[in-house]
């Protein structure tokens, strides 16, 4: 913190206005000094994330049991967040009846293409199904851009820059996957497999018993959605939380 230098000896006799102004300046300076001496406000949550879901490579059955136990032991009071995992991929129109009675914050989705790893996306959705459909439309537009970019990169390759054709195959495959994802999201696909919600503990326990709900994982420690890492198990994951196989279909298949 910089320090003020010693005041110079005054060369004039201050009048009343000057004295008042000087007194005011000194008062402001004193307040500023006190404020400067206080420690700056610090966001103690910087760098912290809250992980909700199953760990990569973790046991899905163990996760489901732990979620059920935590939900049963959740004390009454408040409306904590909870990660709701579905037994299958749901279209937007199925979300409202499934999640009736809870406040939805966002949903988690992916296009379940056979034998392909597709992007997992989080869609803010306070209003279902309207916000989910709108979010899917935005994702579809982004996937269109991704497909165009992949095709452009493939077209720019030459025998000199890609002698074995490996890069071209990667770009072409990426373009096909992105195109399929765009078409699926644009159609309002059955792609949603989890949702982050808030509700009273008793309501969450009721939700856990509804058809199509696989698990309700309470997360009372969650405070900021921008620092939440959500890893719900995919519907097809039955033993371990492993990425789905990613195989390029044979030509013409």
pLDDT in tens, 121-166: 999 999 999 999 999 999 999 999 999 999 999 999 999 999 999 9
The full set of domain ranges for the chain reads: 50-231
Give the HSE-up count for residue 228: Cα atoms under 13 Å, Cβ half-sphere. 25
Burial of 14 (0-12, 13-18, 19+ CB in 10 A): exposed
Give the model confidence (pLDDT) of 1-39 as tens digits.
433 333 333 333 333 333 333 344 434 344 333 334 444
User: 């000094």: which residue's tokens?
Assistant: 33
- Indicate yes or no: pTM above 0.85: no
pLDDT at 50: 95
Give the contacts of 32 (CB within 8 A, at least 6 positions apart): none
User: Residue 250 gets which letter from DSSP?
Assistant: P
**149 in Cβ contact with 138 (< 8 Å):** no
Give the contacts of 236 (CB within 8 A, at least 6 positions apart): 112, 244
Stronger pLDDT, 75 or 44, i.e. the higher one = 75
Give the contacts of 188 (CB within 8 A, at least 6 positions apart): 91, 92, 93, 133, 136
Lowest mean pLDDT among 113-117, 119-123, 200-204: 113-117
Our measurement of the distance from residue 113's CA atom to the centroid of its chain's CA atoms, rounded to an integer in Å, reads 22
pLDDT bracket for residue 247 (50, 70, 90): confident
Q: How far apart are CA 246 and CA 118, in angstroms?
A: 9
Cα–Cα nearest to 193, from 112, 98, 86, 95: 86
pLDDT at 20: 38
Give the model confidence (pLDDT) of 161-188 as tens digits.
999 999 999 999 999 999 999 999 999 9
């Amino acid at each position: 913190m910089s320090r003020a230098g010693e005041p110079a000896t005054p060369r004039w006799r201050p009048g009343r206005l000057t004295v008042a102004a000087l007194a005011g300046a000194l008062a402001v300076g004193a307040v500023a000094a006190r404020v400067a001496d206080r420690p700056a406000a610090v966001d103690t949550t910087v760098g912290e994330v809250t992980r909700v879901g199953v760990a990569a490579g973790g046991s899905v059955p163990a996760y489901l049991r732990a979620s059920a136990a935590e939900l049963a032991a959740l004390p009454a009071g408040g409306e904590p967040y909870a990660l709701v995992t579905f037994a299958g991929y749901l279209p937007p129109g199925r979300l409202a009846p499934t999640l009736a009675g809870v406040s939805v914050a966002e949903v988690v989705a992916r296009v379940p293409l056979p034998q392909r790893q597709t992007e997992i996306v989080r869609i803010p959705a306070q209003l279902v199904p309207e916000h989910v459909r709108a979010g899917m439309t935005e994702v579809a537009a982004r996937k269109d851009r991704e497909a165009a970019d992949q095709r452009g990169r493939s077209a720019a390759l030459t025998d000199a820059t890609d002698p074995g054709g490996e890069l071209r195959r990667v770009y072409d495959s990426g373009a096909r996957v992105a195109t399929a994802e765009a078409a699926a999201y644009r159609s309002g696909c059955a792609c949603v497999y989890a949702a982050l919600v808030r509700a009273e503990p008793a309501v969450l326990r009721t939700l856990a018993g509804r058809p199509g709900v696989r698990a309700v994982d309470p997360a009372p420690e969650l405070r900021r959605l921008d620092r939440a890492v959500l890893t719900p198990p995919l519907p097809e994951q039955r033993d371990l939380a492993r990425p789905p196989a990613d195989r390029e279909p044979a030509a013409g298949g």
